[in-house]
C-alpha cells in the first residue's frame, strides 16, 4: 500500500512510484523500464505495454535529472508553412531563447495530429514540456507524456475544445464584436460575414460577436449575409464574388481570417470594385501580410507573440505548479484600423 | 609524432586525436575535456581556451557515440518571422522528419549572427549538424563546431560569400534574365528594375541578368530605370511611386523580391494605375503571398523546399563524405507567370 499525499488541488492521491518500484511490479530490470521511458528499442511490445500501463497507474514521476543535455521544449504546429504558424513559432522561439531553452519544431499532419513516430523522438529528447499550436495528440501519446510528467500546453487561437491540457487562446467573441461595431460606427447597415468552420469554437464565437454587435445597433440579421468558410483565401474569392454581384450587395464584408479578406480583395478586383470606396473589408488575425496588401487591411489582431510567450511561461512552470494545469487563458484581441474600411457611399 | 593519413582531397594530414590524447596534452582529466566539448560549466576560462585550441590543432574527431538521445539538427535562421523564413524552416522540417531527425530552430539577430549563448546550447545538444539560413557565425563559433566535427551547411538563397562551409543557393543571374526576357517577349521596352542591397551577390547577379536580357534584345540600358532597394516592401512603394509618376514612366517593373513587388502594387494603387493594364510587375521569390495578392503576381521561383531538402541531405552526409565540404550547389530558378504581367498598351 502506497502512502497517500495531498496534491495541489487538495485531494489525496497515491504517492508517485519510483523507477525501481515500477520495475519490481513489472518483473523486469530497471534498465528495461528506462528503455521504455526513453522511447528506445529492444523491448517486446507486450512488455512495453505492461510497463506503460504501470507507469500511468502508479503515477511515476521522473526526477528531473541533473540535465546533461541542453534544456528543450517540443513544439508541434499545424500548417507549419502558413503565415500564421510562422508568427507563432517565431514568438515561441523568442520566448524560449529568453529562458535559455532550445526549441524543437515539428509540423502536424492534415488531421492536426503528429506523424506516428513524433512521440518517440519526444520521449528520447525528454523536453521540459510540449506546446501544441493548433495541433492535437491522440490519447495514447497524451498518456505517455503524462506518465513521464512532461507537461503539455495548447496554444490554440482557434480554441478547439480538446484534452485536459491548459491552453492559451484569444478572445474571439470580442474580436467579432469589435470588427462589426467598427463597421456600424462608420455607417454601414448591410454588413456580411464569411465565417470559419462550424466545428471550431473560434468561428462560432466570432459569428456570435458579429450578431451581438448588429443586435446592439438594432440592425436586423440577414441570413443571406452569413456565408460559410474555412479560414481560406478561396472562401473569400467565392463568397465575396457571390455577395458583391447579388441584387442587394453588402457595403461591408467582415472576413473571419486575413486570408479570407485577401480573397474578398480578389473578388472585388475581378468585379471592378474598389476598396474601401465600393466595399469595406475587415479581416481577422493581423498577420504581417495585412499591412502589406493594397489597401492595407483593417483587421482584428490576435496577439500571437504574447500568446507564445504565455505558452512558454506556462510550460516551464507546470512541473512545479501543477495547479496551473487547470488554467485556460484567453488573451485580449484588438482592432487595427487601416485603409480597407471607410464610410459607405450614400 | 602522429601517423599521417590521406584525407578526401588526397592530401595527407595528421590523424585525428582521441579524447584521452587531448587530455594528456592539456594535462587535465578526460572528464574536463569532455566538459569543454559539451559546453558545460566548471572549467576555468584559461583551461577551456587551452583545450579548445588543442581540439582544433589536433583535429579531434568525436566518435559518433551510440546516440542515447534522439538525433537533432540545429537551424539558425535570419528574420525568423518573415514569410521567407517560414517557407525555409518548414521545408527543412519536412526533410528532417523524413530522416527521423528532430529540428531545433533559433532566430539570428539583426546582424545575421546568433545570440552569444546560442553556441553553448548547440555544443550541449551535440546535433548531427548545423544549417544556417541566411545567417552567419563568428569565427570563434565556427572553430568550436569544427573542433567537434559538427558539420555546417549554409542554405543561403542570397548567396552571401562567406565561410568555408558548403552551401545551397539558387541561380540568381538566370532568375533576373528570365524575368526580364519575359517582359521583353510581351513587348515591353521601358523596363525598370528595383534591386536588392549592393553588398549581396544575389542582387548583383539579378541585376546582371536583367542587363544581359536587355542587351540580347538590343534595348539600351537606362540609368534612371535602375533603382536601389533592400528587398523590402518600402522600396517598392517609394521607387515605384517615383518611377510611375515620372515624365517617361516604365511600362513594366521588375522587383528583386516579392515584398518589393507588393510595394509597387501599393504605389500603382495610390496613383490610380491598374496592374497589368497600366503597368506590368514581376517579383522574385514566389512566396505563398505571391499567389494570394490581387492580381496574382508573376514572379521568379526560388525553390526553397528543394533547397531545404538538399541542405538537410548534405548536412547528414558530411561526416562520412568530407569531400562534400567543398560543394556549392545553385538550384535552378524558374518563372511563374500569373496575372501581373501583360503586353503594354500601344
Give the Cα separation of A87 and A95 in Å (integer): 13
Per-residue b or e along A213-223, where b marks 16 or more CB atoms closer than 10 Å to that residue's CB: bbeeeeeeeee
Measured between beta carbons, the chain A residues lying within 8 angstroms of B39 are: 70
Measured between beta carbons, the chain A residues lying within 8 angstroms of B285 are: none
Q: Kindly calculate the radius of gyration of chain A based on its CA atoms and give it in whole angstroms.
A: 24
Kindly list the strands in the beta sheet with B298-301, ordered across the sheet, starting from the edge strand earlier in the chain.
B226-227, B191-194, B252-255, B280-285, B298-301, B334-336
Considering only residues A100 and A41, tell me which one the structure prediction assigns the higher pLDDT: A100
Handedness of CA B173, B179, B184, B190 (dihedral sign): negative
The set of cell numbers assigned to A43 is 523491448
User: Minimal Cα–Cα distance from B309 to chain A, Å?
Assistant: 15
Whether A262 and B106 lie within 8 Å, measured CB to CB:
no
Greatest pairwise CA separation for chain B in angstroms: 82
Roughly how many angstroms between the first and final C-alpha of chain A, as a whole number?
Answer: 80
How much is the mean pLDDT over chain A? Answer: 86
| Minimal Cβ distance to A83: which of B86, B103, B294 | B86
Per-residue b or e along B69-87, where b marks 16 or more CB atoms closer than 10 Å to that residue's CB: bbbbbbbbbbbbbbbbbbb
With a cut of 80, say whether residue B144 has pLDDT above it. Answer: yes
- Per DSSP, A224 falls in state G
How much is the mean pLDDT over chain B? Answer: 86
Measured between beta carbons, the chain A residues lying within 8 angstroms of B102 are: 74, 104, 106, 121, 125
User: What is the helix (H) or strand (E) element at residue A243, kind and residue range?
Assistant: helix A233-244
User: Minimal Cα–Cα distance from B234 to chain A, Å?
Assistant: 9
For the ranges A169-183, A228-242, B134-148, B208-222, which has the lowest average pLDDT? B134-148
Mean of the pLDDT values across residues B15-36? 79
Whether A294 and B265 lie within 8 Å, measured CB to CB:
yes
Residue B328 pLDDT class (50, 70, 90 cuts): confident
Residue B161 pLDDT class (50, 70, 90 cuts): low
pLDDT, position B61? 56
Residue B60 pLDDT class (50, 70, 90 cuts): low
pLDDT, position A70? 76
3-state SS, residue A116: coil
Handedness of CA A317, A321, A327, A331 (dihedral sign): negative
Q: Are the C-beta atoms of A120 and A141 separated by less than 8 Å?
A: no
Mean of the pLDDT values across residues A297-319? 90
Whether A106 and B97 lie within 8 Å, measured CB to CB:
yes
pLDDT, position A322? 75
Q: Are the C-beta atoms of A92 and A312 separated by less than 8 Å?
A: yes
User: Minimal Cα–Cα distance from B183 to chain A, Å?
Assistant: 23
Residue A60 pLDDT class (50, 70, 90 cuts): low
pLDDT, position B67? 46
Considering only residues B148 and B184, tell me which one the structure prediction assigns the higher pLDDT: B184
pLDDT, position A147? 85
Q: Which residue of A has its CA nearest to B289?
A: A289
Q: Which residue has the cell 515561441?
A: A92
Summarize pLDDT for A144-177 with one digit per residue, the tens. Answer: 898 888 999 998 766 665 556 888 989 999 999 9
Whether B90 and A70 lie within 8 Å, measured CB to CB:
no
Whether B103 and A106 lie within 8 Å, measured CB to CB:
yes
User: Minimal Cα–Cα distance from A176 to chain B, Å?
Assistant: 24
Considering only residues B55 and A330, tell me which one the structure prediction assigns the higher pLDDT: A330
Give the Cα separation of A257 and A333 in Å (integer): 13
Considering only residues B274 and B21, tell me which one the structure prediction assigns the higher pLDDT: B274
Q: Kindly calculate the radius of gyration of chain B based on its CA atoms and give it in whole angstroms.
A: 24
Cα-based distances in Å from A153 to A99, B59, B124: 16, 44, 25
Considering only residues A31 and A106, tell me which one the structure prediction assigns the higher pLDDT: A106
Interface test with B, best of A38, A71, A102, A304 (most B CBs within 10 A): A102
| Minimal Cβ distance to A102: which of B38, B104, B289 | B104
Whether A121 and B102 lie within 8 Å, measured CB to CB:
yes
Task: Say if strands B191-194 and B226-227 run parallel, antiparallel, or are unpaired.
Answer: parallel
Mean of the pLDDT values across residues A14-28? 76
Measured between beta carbons, the chain A residues lying within 8 angstroms of B295 are: 269
Residue A199 pLDDT class (50, 70, 90 cuts): confident
Measured between beta carbons, the chain A residues lying within 8 angstroms of B124 are: 68-70
Measured between beta carbons, the chain B residues lying within 8 angstroms of A270 are: 294
Q: Which residue of B has its CA nearest to A97?
A: B106
- Number of C-beta neighbours around residue A319 at 10 A: 16
Whether A80 and B90 lie within 8 Å, measured CB to CB:
yes
Whether A121 and B115 lie within 8 Å, measured CB to CB:
no
pLDDT, position A10? 38
Residue B9 pLDDT class (50, 70, 90 cuts): very low
Mean of the pLDDT values across residues A115-134? 92
ipTM over 0.85: no
Considering only residues B7 and A259, tell me which one the structure prediction assigns the higher pLDDT: A259
Q: What domains appear along chain B, each with residue ranges and CATH number?
A: 4-57 (1.10.260.40), 72-170+304-331 (3.40.50.2300), 172-302 (3.40.50.2300)
Give the Cα separation of A100 and B125 in Å (integer): 13
Percent above pLDDT 70 for chain A = 89
pLDDT, position B242? 98
User: Minimal Cα–Cα distance from B53 to chain A, Å?
Assistant: 23
Greatest pairwise CA separation for chain A in angstroms: 82
Interface test with B, best of A40, A121, A276 (most B CBs within 10 A): A121
Whether B82 and A87 lie within 8 Å, measured CB to CB:
no
C-alpha A124, offset from chain centre = 25
Percent above pLDDT 90 for chain B = 52
* Global confidence as pTM: 0.76
Give the Cα separation of A243 and A264 in Å (integer): 10
Give the Cα separation of A297 and A336 in Å (integer): 8
Q: Which residue of A has its CA nearest to B79?
A: A90
Cα within 13 Å of Cα(B99), Cβ side: 24
User: Minimal Cα–Cα distance from A10 to chain B, Å?
Assistant: 37
Considering only residues B113 and A7, tell me which one the structure prediction assigns the higher pLDDT: B113
Measured between beta carbons, the chain A residues lying within 8 angstroms of B72 are: 104, 125
User: What is the helix (H) or strand (E) element at residue A191, kind and residue range?
Assistant: strand A191-194
Q: Are the C-beta atoms of A51 and A27 separated by less than 8 Å?
A: no
With a cut of 90, say whether residue B297 has pLDDT above it. Answer: yes
Whether A233 and B294 lie within 8 Å, measured CB to CB:
no
Q: Which residue of A has its CA nearest to B91?
A: A81
Whether A269 and B294 lie within 8 Å, measured CB to CB:
yes
With a cut of 90, say whether residue B40 has pLDDT above it. Answer: no
Whether B106 and A103 lie within 8 Å, measured CB to CB:
yes
pLDDT, position B3? 37
User: Minimal Cα–Cα distance from A268 to chain B, Å?
Assistant: 9
- Number of A/B CB contacts below 8 angstroms equals 132
| Minimal Cβ distance to B269: which of A69, A103, A294 | A294
Residues linked to residue A107 through DSSP beta bridges, in sequence order: A77
Residue B25 pLDDT class (50, 70, 90 cuts): confident
With a cut of 60, say whether residue B63 has pLDDT above it. Answer: no
For the ranges A272-281, B163-172, B258-267, which has the lowest average pLDDT? B163-172
Handedness of CA B92, B97, B98, B99 (dihedral sign): positive
For chain B, the three-class secondary structure string (H helix, E strand, C coil) is: CCCEEECCCCCEEECCCCHHHHHHHHCCCHHHHHHHHCCCCCCCHHHHHHHHHHHHHCCCCCCCCCCCCCCEEEEEECCCCCHHHHHHHHHHHHHHHHCCCEEEEEECCCCCCCCCCHHHHHHHHCCCEEEEECCCCCHHHHHHHHHCCCCEEEECCCCCCCCCCCEEEECHHHHHHHHHHHHHHCCCCCEEEECCCCCCHHHHHHHHHHHHHHHHCCCCCCHHHEECCCCCHHHHHHHHHHHHCCCCCCCEEEECCHHHHHHHHHHHHHCCCCCCCCCEEEEEECCCHHHHCCCCCEEEECCHHHHHHHHHHHHHHCCCCHHHHHCEEEECCEEECCCCCCCCCC
C-alpha B120, offset from chain centre = 23
Q: Are the C-beta atoms of A307 and A168 separated by less than 8 Å?
A: yes
Cα-based distances in Å from A307 to A87, A171, A320, B38, B95: 11, 12, 21, 33, 28
Q: Which residue of B has its CA nearest to A79?
A: B90
Q: Which residue of A has its CA nearest to B80?
A: A90
For chain A, give percent helix, strand, coil, nearest 5.
40, 15, 40
With a cut of 50, say whether residue B12 has pLDDT above it. Answer: no
pLDDT, position B321? 79
Measured between beta carbons, the chain A residues lying within 8 angstroms of B115 are: 97
Mean of the pLDDT values across residues A7-21? 54
For the ranges A313-317, B44-48, B231-235, which has the lowest average pLDDT? B44-48
Q: Residue B59, exposed/middle/buried by CB under 10 A (0-12, 13-18, 19+)?
A: middle
Amino acid at each position: 500500500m502506497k502512502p497517500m499525499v495531498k496534491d495541489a488541488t487538495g485531494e489525496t492521491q497515491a504517492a508517485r512510484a519510483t523507477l525501481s518500484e515500477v520495475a519490481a511490479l513489472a518483473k523486469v530490470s530497471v534498465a528495461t523500464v528506462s528503455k521504455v521511458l526513453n522511447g528506445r528499442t529492444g523491448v517486446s511490445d507486450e512488455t512495453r505495454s505492461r510497463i506503460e500501463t504501470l507507469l500511468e497507474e502508479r503515477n511515476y514521476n521522473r526526477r528531473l535529472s541533473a540535465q546533461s543535455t541542453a534544456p528543450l521544449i517540443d513544439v508541434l504546429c499545424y500548417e507549419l508553412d502558413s503565415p500564421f504558424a510562422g508568427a507563432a513559432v517565431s514568438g515561441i522561439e523568442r520566448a524560449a531563447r529568453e529562458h535559455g531553452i532550445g526549441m524543437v519544431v515539428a509540423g502536424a499532419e492534415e488531421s492536426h495530429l503528429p506523424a506516428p513516430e513524433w512521440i518517440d523522438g519526444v520521449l528520447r529528447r525528454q523536453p521540459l514540456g510540449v506546446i501544441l499550436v493548433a495541433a492535437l495528440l491522440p490519447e495514447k501519446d497524451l498518456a505517455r507524456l503524462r506518465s513521464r510528467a512532461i507537461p503539455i500546453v495548447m496554444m490554440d487561437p482557434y480554441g478547439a475544445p480538446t484534452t485536459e491540457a491548459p491552453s492559451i487562446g484569444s478572445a474571439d467573441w470580442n474580436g467579432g464584436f469589435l470588427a462589426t461595431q467598427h463597421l456600424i460606427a462608420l455607417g454601414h447597415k448591410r454588413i456580411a460575414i464569411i465565417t470559419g468552420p462550424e466545428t471550431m469554437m473560434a468561428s462560432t464565437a466570432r459569428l456570435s460577436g458579429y450578431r451581438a454587435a448588429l443586435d446592439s445597433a438594432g440592425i436586423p440579421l440577414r441570413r443571406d449575409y452569413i456565408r460559410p468558410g474555412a479560414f481560406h483565401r478561396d472562401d473569400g474569392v467565392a463568397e465575396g464574388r457571390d455577395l458583391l454581384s447579388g441584387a442587394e450587395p453588402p457595403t461591408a464584408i467582415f472576413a473571419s481570417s486575413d486570408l479570407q479578406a485577401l480573397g474578398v480583395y480578389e473578388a472585388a478586383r475581378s468585379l471592378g470594385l474598389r476598396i474601401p470606396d465600393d466595399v469595406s473589408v475587415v479581416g481577422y488575425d493581423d498577420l504581417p501580410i495585412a499591412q502589406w496588401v493594397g489597401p492595407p487591411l483593417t483587421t482584428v489582431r490576435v496577439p500571437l507573440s504574447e500568446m507564445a510567450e504565455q505558452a512558454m511561461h506556462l510550460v516551464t512552470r507546470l512541473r512545479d505548479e501543477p495547479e496551473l494545469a487547470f488554467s485556460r487563458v484567453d488573451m485580449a484581441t484588438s482592432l487595427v484600423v487601416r485603409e480597407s474600411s471607410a464610410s459607405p457611399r450614400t
